[in-house]
């Protein structure tokens, strides 16, 4: 087990600086354009693929870093560059994590490479869980998957929403209900291969922030996939459902983790790292502005009202990063989240990003309210962190339930 060390080693620093250079030289110059266009920045993704940032190998190296700091370090630097563009680059990762967490070795080897494509023909993937009536309330999911035993196929019907890369993805990972009587314990995840009949893009959302990232509905109309596309395989699913039914008859017992929740638990510290990157970017813009902007014959940072804000901003960012690093280290080293440390990191970091980007606008004054300065975009982008992959309210609920050891409504 790797010790929890609050400093990157030399190799990690080298990787961090490499990613930072890409974020500064490629992502930032293009950020405003793709935000205005509200389109997937394919040229930027391709540039990331050319140097190896957008690739299975890169994310695998960071994912299996024994310190747990590889992924949060990479996420912070990319989202320091630009949140919308970064989400277009890393959005495929959520689908990949879903397969890594729940799939067989054969499924991992078959489908994850197809999620990324290659340098000359980059692809993206989508993880589809949320629905119009089932966001945080995953037990209300309506998308159904029915097994056709005669053909060894699963038939999926339903509508997914808020899917990053939804409809434009080469590979979709879809969470569906296979046993409605078991609630969230009756869910399973399925691979939808490229060009599968019946899958189509629904509404594409025009968003407040992260506008360079494609977000849309995914409609499943009698989508048929081979039995081999059930993540983990049918034998494993049948065993899990049987245990869930027995525990339901016995009146509860050990909680059974469903595929969607396993994916979210694995990704929460990474989302916290994204928020840290955006917050840090806004703080740095505000700090530089405060040191160069003069009012009444002196830089505005000479005023306590501004200086104290910057002090609070930096303190909150550093505290958020430490919570993210702790949760990431615990996850990689198999430490149980006895106090919902993953949710703690996501909650604090996302709230910090919203607050810090707002403070940055305040320090820049009227300039901060215009699109001539990037803090306006950063503030719009930061709003998503308290919403996606579990709202702040849901994170508080998870933390409270974990601490209390009982359901809290």
> Vertex 392, ends 307 and 162: CA angle to 5°?
115
Report the alpha-carbon distance of residue 185 to residue 180 in Å, rounded.
9
Which residues make Cβ contacts (< 8 Å) with residue 36, sequence separation at least 6? 211
Question: Which tokens hold the place of 362?
Answer: 């305040």
Asked if 163 and 130 count as a contact pair (C-beta separation under 8 A), the reply is: yes
Number of neighbours of residue 132 by Cβ within 10 angstroms: 13
Sign of CA dihedral 198, 202, 204, 208: negative
Closest CA to 89 of 212, 175, 171, 272: 212
Does 14 qualify as catalytic in the annotation?
Answer: no
Report the alpha-carbon distance of residue 297 to residue 302 in Å, rounded.
10
Q: What share of the chain is helix, strand, coil (3-state, %, to 5)?
A: 60, 15, 25
Which among 341, 372, 389, 393 is annotated as catalytic? 389
Q: Which residue has the tokens 């879903």?
A: 98
Closest CA to 47 of 63, 73, 66, 28: 28
Q: What is residue 258's DSSP assignment?
A: P
Q: What is residue 6's DSSP assignment?
A: S
Q: Is 127 left (phi over 0), alpha (psi -120 to 50) or beta?
A: beta
Mutual orientation of helices 56-63 and 105-116 as an angle, nearest 10°? 130
Q: How far is CA 298 from the centre of its chain?
A: 42
Report the alpha-carbon distance of residue 186 to residue 244 in Å, rounded.
8
Question: Which tokens hold the place of 31?
Answer: 């950020």
Catalytic residue numbers read 389
């Amino acid at each position: 087990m790797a010790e929890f060390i609050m400093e990157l080693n030399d190799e990690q620093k080298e990787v961090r600086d490499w990613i930072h250079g890409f974020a500064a030289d490629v992502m930032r110059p293009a950020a405003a354009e793709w935000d205005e266009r509200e389109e997937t920045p394919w040229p930027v993704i391709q540039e990331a693929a050319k140097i190896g940032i957008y690739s299975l190998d890169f994310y695998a190296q960071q994912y299996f870093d024994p310190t747990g700091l590889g992924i949060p370090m990479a996420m912070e630097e990319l989202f320091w560059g630009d949140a919308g563009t970064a989400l277009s680059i890393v959005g495929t990762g959520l689908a990949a994590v879903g397969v890594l967490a729940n799939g067989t070795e054969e499924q991992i080897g078959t489908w994850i490479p197809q999620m990324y494509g290659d340098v000359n023909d980059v692809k993206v993937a989508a993880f589809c869980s949320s629905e119009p009536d089932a966001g945080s309330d995953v037990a209300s999911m309506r998308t159904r998957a029915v097994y056709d035993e005669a053909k060894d196929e699963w038939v999926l019907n339903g509508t997914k929403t808020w899917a990053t890369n939804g409809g434009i993805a080469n590979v979709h990972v879809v969470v569906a209900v296979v046993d409605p009587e078991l609630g969230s314990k009756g869910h399973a995840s399925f691979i939808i291969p490229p060009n599968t009949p019946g899958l189509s893009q629904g509404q594409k959302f025009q968003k407040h922030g992260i506008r360079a990232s494609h977000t849309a509905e995914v409609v499943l109309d009698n989508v048929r996939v081979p039995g081999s596309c059930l993540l983990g395989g049918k034998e494993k699913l049948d065993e899990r459902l049987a245990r869930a039914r027995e525990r339901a008859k016995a009146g509860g017992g050990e909680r059974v983790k469903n595929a969607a929740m396993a994916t979210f638990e694995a990704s929460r510290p990474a989302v916290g790292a994204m928020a840290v990157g955006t917050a840090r970017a806004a703080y740095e813009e505000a700090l530089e502005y405060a040191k160069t902007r003069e009012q009444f014959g002196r830089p505005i940072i000479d005023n306590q009202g501004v200086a104290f804000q910057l002090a609070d901003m930096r303190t909150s960012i550093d505290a958020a990063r430490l919570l993210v690093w702790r949760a990431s280290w615990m996850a990689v080293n198999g430490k149980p989240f006895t106090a919902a440390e993953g949710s703690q990191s996501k909650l604090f970091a996302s709230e910090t990003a919203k607050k810090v980007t707002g403070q940055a606008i305040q320090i820049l004054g009227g300039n901060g309210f215009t699109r001539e300065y990037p803090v306006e975009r950063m503030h719009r982008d930061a709003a998503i962190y308290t919403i996606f992959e579990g709202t702040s309210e849901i994170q508080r609920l998870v933390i409270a339930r974990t601490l209390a050891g009982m359901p809290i409504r």
